[in-house]
């Protein structure tokens, strides 16, 4: 077996890794649909006659000399004709660049039957649309001077019912591509359309099952390990060991880290500080550091899960230890599994941008979550109430309140990777949106699984040591509450399209609220609040054993 010093070193490494990764939980995307960022707040876009269109993302199919090329993405204007949601190739329009390029004056070139490709600047968007329409254009394409998509709005006063052509803005690189084709004297055609999203994508169902399954699996693993540890402890007492062991000494024996009220509060403070550091200093190298940390945590998690699973079939390999330089005592099974886990994590880190890399990310993420929920635990409901209550406020503040202070949602900016070339942080589970014409991913952050998972795991351990049945316990109803809270999160995302939603806003009331209500209803809230899972049915045995073996104590 491992020496106490080696175990302490391993536990220290785990604590450092867990804390670093927990600090990243908050910086997670709240809406994984993969939309391009659309600048300009809707509240600042006046609605007037002829200027009442909703902003929608627009796909722009392109053909150069009859060969279809890359499909571009833009955003429609507040004015003009609405963009169709169907793409009929017969409606493709030839593209032309007017003179002047900004089209703030009447074009010297006829645009009859064409789409005008113009540069942003020098005059209002509505003036460009009127000039293009007067020159005979059937559509207007505006090239932004940045990569962001900007919402084209109307002037403060006036009516715009006379503008009848559709208008779309493209990011700078996309517009430059079209313009380069025209400068090469190629025949360029475009077709604009805005397909609708499905109300529910099957990826959201898969992600829901993954999240709930991970929480349930981690809960049973945690409870089973705690039960085995308790049985081993009492067997050693029965065989003549010192039965007078305090709770703190017993906890030291077990490979777990208890969260207390102070650390729960400190966690959210440190998470907020770290989120601000990411917000101000996020860059490509900083993101690379986060990827490395995730790979380290994923490697540890994958190795822990594999060793725990395989030790059931290979107990001899799991129980035979060797001393390894710098690493301390390790079992043969751990030495055998470690190279595979290291290779898996390394390959994901190198090829993380491939289309199928989400599979490796989910595998590493689930392994990490399972291992963390196996090691970290809450001892009672009081700690859970402080932790989840703080996380609840934290989520709401950094999603909804931070725009009032920073002019943008800090959490969403960090999660989207706006300051790191669009590559988001890897601390999340994701599944590709299979039937969404806009692509993207359905996602859930680790924090939305780990933090409620601590409570669900506690409830199962409490039910087991209290000998409660499935329906009379707390685990079943808390698990249902978690699934329901996650369901309401996706409902909110679909109802409030384009607005990120903090999942804990819905999950915390459905989980913590369920436990508190049931505990109050059954008259067990005080026991849950203070003693927690220490209310073991074996307490009587322990007390009698202490009296029998240590009467002087």
Q: Which two tokens stand for residue 58?
A: 């627009």
Predicted pLDDT at 238: 65
User: Which single residue is written with the structure tokens 């002087």?
Assistant: 552
Distance CA 320, CA 333 (A): 8
State the DSSP string of 444-497.
Answer: EETHHHHHHHHHHHHHHHHHHHTT--TTTSSHHHHHHHHHHHHHHHHHHHHHST
**Spatial distance between the Cα atoms of 46 and 62, rounded to a whole number of angstroms:** 32
**Cross-strand pairs, 48:** 51
- pLDDT value, residue 420: 59
Count of Cβ atoms closer than 10 Å to residue 65 Cβ: 12
For the record, the structure tokens of 485 come out as 């809270």
Environment class of 257 (CB within 10 Å of its CB; exposed 0-12, middle 13-18, buried 19+):
middle
**285 — phi, psi (to 5°)?**
-70, -35
Q: Please, are residues 166 and 56 in contact by the beta-carbon 8 Å criterion?
A: no
- As a whole number of angstroms, the distance between CA 511 and CA 90 comes to 54
Distances (CA, A) of 111 to 26, 193, 299, 347, 387: 51, 21, 60, 53, 63
Going by the DSSP 8-state scheme, the letter that residue 398 receives in this structure is: I
Q: Is 177 exposed, middle or buried (0-12, 13-18, 19+ CB in 10 A)?
A: middle
Is the distance from CB of 271 to CB of 392 less than 8 angstroms? no
* Residue 21 structure tokens: 């990764």
What pLDDT, on the 0 to 100 scale, is given for residue 483? 96
Question: Which residue in 510, 516, 497 sits closest to 440, CA to CA?
Answer: 497
Q: Is the pTM of this model over 0.85?
A: no
Residues of the chain by 3-state class (helix, strand, coil), percent to 5: 55, 10, 35
Fold (CATH) for 54-193: Glucose Oxidase; domain 1 (3.50.30)
Helix residue spans in 50-157 (DSSP H): 125-134
Ramachandran area for residue 40 (φ above 0: left; ψ -120 to 50: alpha; else beta): left
User: Taking CA 234 as the corner, what is the angle to CA 232 and CA 235, rounded to the nearest 5 degrees?
Assistant: 60
Distance between CA atoms of residues 30 and 444, nearest Å? 7
pLDDT at position 78 is 87
Gap between the Cα atoms of 538 and 137, Å rounded:
84
**Neighbouring C-alpha atoms within 13 Å toward the C-beta of 420:** 23
Residues 420 and 113: their CA atoms lie apart, in Å, by 41
Cβ atoms < 10 Å from Cβ of 213: 11
Of 146, 147, 193, which is closest to residue 168 (Cα–Cα)? 193
Domain ranges (residues) in the chain: 54-193, 199-235+255-544
| pLDDT tens sequence for the chain (553 residues) | 444 444 444 544 455 455 445 544 443 434 444 444 454 445 455 567 778 888 888 999 999 988 888 888 899 888 888 888 877 766 788 998 888 888 888 877 778 888 999 998 888 888 888 888 888 889 999 998 887 778 888 877 777 888 889 999 999 888 898 988 888 888 889 999 888 878 778 888 999 999 999 999 999 998 888 777 777 766 666 665 554 444 444 443 346 778 888 888 887 788 888 888 878 887 778 888 888 888 988 998 899 899 988 888 888 888 888 777 766 677 888 888 999 999 999 999 999 989 899 999 999 999 999 988 888 888 899 999 999 999 899 888 888 888 888 877 787 777 666 665 656 778 889 999 888 888 788 888 888 898 999 999 999 999 988 888 889 999 999 999 999 999 998 888 777 765 667 888 999 999 999 999 999 999 999 889 987 766 544 444 344 444 344 444 4
Which sequence positions are flagged as catalytic? 395, 448
Provide the CB-side half-sphere exposure for 56 (13 A, CA). 22
- Residue that is written with structure tokens 């966690």 in the block: 267
Structure token pair of residue 380:
């009672």
Task: Evaluate whether 117 touches 175 at the Cβ level (below 8 Å).
Answer: yes
pLDDT of amino acid 20 = 47
- Contacts of 400-404 with CB under 8 Å at 24 or more apart are 400/502
**What pLDDT, on a 0 to 100 scale, did the predictor assign at position 2?**
41
Instruction: Give the length of the chain.
Output: 553
Angle between helices 539-549 and 202-238 (to 10 degrees): 20
* Distance, CA of 122 to CA of 88 (rounded, Å): 34
| Spatial CB neighbours of 240, under 8 Å, sequence gap ≥ 6 | none
Are 524 and 468 contacting, i.e. CB atoms less than 8 angstroms apart?
no
Q: Are 356 and 347 in contact (CB under 8 A)?
A: no
> Is 452 in contact with 508 (CB distance < 8 Å)?
yes
Contact 306, 337 (CB under 8 A): yes
DSSP state string for 507-533: HHHHHHHHHHHHHHHHT-HHHHHHTGG
């Amino acid at each position: 077996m491992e020496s106490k010093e080696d175990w302490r070193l391993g536990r220290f490494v785990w604590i450092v890794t867990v804390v670093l990764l927990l600090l990243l939980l908050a910086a997670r995307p709240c809406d994984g649909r993969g939309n391009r960022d659309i600048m300009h707040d809707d509240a600042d876009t006046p609605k007037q006659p002829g200027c009442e269109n909703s902003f929608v993302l627009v796909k722009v199919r392109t053909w150069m000399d009859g060969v279809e090329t890359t499909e571009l993405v833009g955003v429609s204007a507040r004015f003009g004709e609405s963009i169709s949601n169907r793409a009929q190739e017969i409606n493709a329009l030839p593209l032309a660049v007017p003179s002047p390029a900004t089209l703030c004056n009447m074009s010297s070139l006829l645009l009859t039957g064409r789409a005008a490709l113009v540069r942003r600047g020098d005059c209002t968007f509505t003036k460009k649309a009127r000039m293009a329409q007067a020159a005979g254009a059937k559509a207007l394409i505006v090239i932004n001077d940045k990569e962001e998509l900007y919402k084209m709005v109307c002037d403060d006063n006036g009516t715009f019912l006379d503008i009848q052509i559709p208008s779309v803005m493209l990011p700078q690189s996309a517009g430059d591509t079209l313009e380069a084709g025209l400068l090469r004297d190629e025949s360029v055609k475009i077709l604009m359309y805005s397909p609708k999203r499905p109300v529910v994508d099957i990826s959201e169902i898969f992600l829901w099952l993954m999240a709930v399954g991970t929480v349930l699996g981690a809960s049973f693993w945690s409870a089973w390990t705690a039960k085995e540890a308790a049985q081993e402890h009492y067997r050693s007492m029965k065989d003549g060991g010192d039965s007078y062991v305090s709770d703190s000494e017993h906890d030291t024996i077990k490979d777990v880290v208890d969260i207390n009220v102070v650390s729960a509060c400190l966690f959210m403070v440190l998470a907020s500080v770290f989120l601000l550091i990411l917000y101000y200093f996020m860059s490509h190298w900083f993101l690379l550091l986060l990827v490395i940390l995730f790979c380290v945590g994923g490697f540890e998690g994958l190795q822990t899960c594999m060793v725990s699973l395989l030790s059931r079939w290979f107990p001899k390999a799991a129980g035979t230890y060797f001393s390894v330089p710098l690493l301390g005592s390790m079992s043969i099974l751990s030495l055998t599994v470690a190279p595979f886990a290291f290779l898996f994590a390394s390959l994901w880190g190198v090829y993380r941008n491939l289309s199928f890399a989400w599979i490796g990310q989910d595998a590493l993420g689930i392994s990490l979550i399972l291992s963390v929920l196996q090691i970290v635990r809450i001892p009672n409901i009081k700690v859970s109430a402080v932790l989840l209550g703080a996380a609840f406020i934290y989520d709401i503040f950094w999603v909804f309140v931070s725009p009032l202070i920073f002019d943008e949602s800090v959490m969403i900016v960090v999660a989207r990777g706006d300051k790191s070339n669009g590559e988001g942080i890897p601390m999340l589970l994701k599944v590709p949106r299979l039937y969404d014409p806009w692509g993207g991913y359905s996602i859930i952050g680790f924090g939305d699984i780990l933090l409620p998972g601590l409570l669900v795991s506690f409830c199962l351990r409490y039910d087991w040591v209290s000998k409660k049945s499935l329906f009379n316990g707390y685990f079943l109803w808390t698990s249902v509450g978690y699934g329901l809270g996650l369901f309401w999160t996706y409902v909110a995302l679909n109802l409030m399209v384009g607005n990120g939603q903090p999942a804990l806003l819905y999950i915390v009331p459905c989980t913590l609220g369920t436990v508190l209500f049931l505990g109050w209803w059954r008259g067990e809230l005080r026991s849950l609040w203070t003693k927690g899972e220490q209310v073991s049915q074996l307490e009587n045995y322990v007390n009698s054993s202490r009296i029998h073996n240590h009467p002087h104590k």
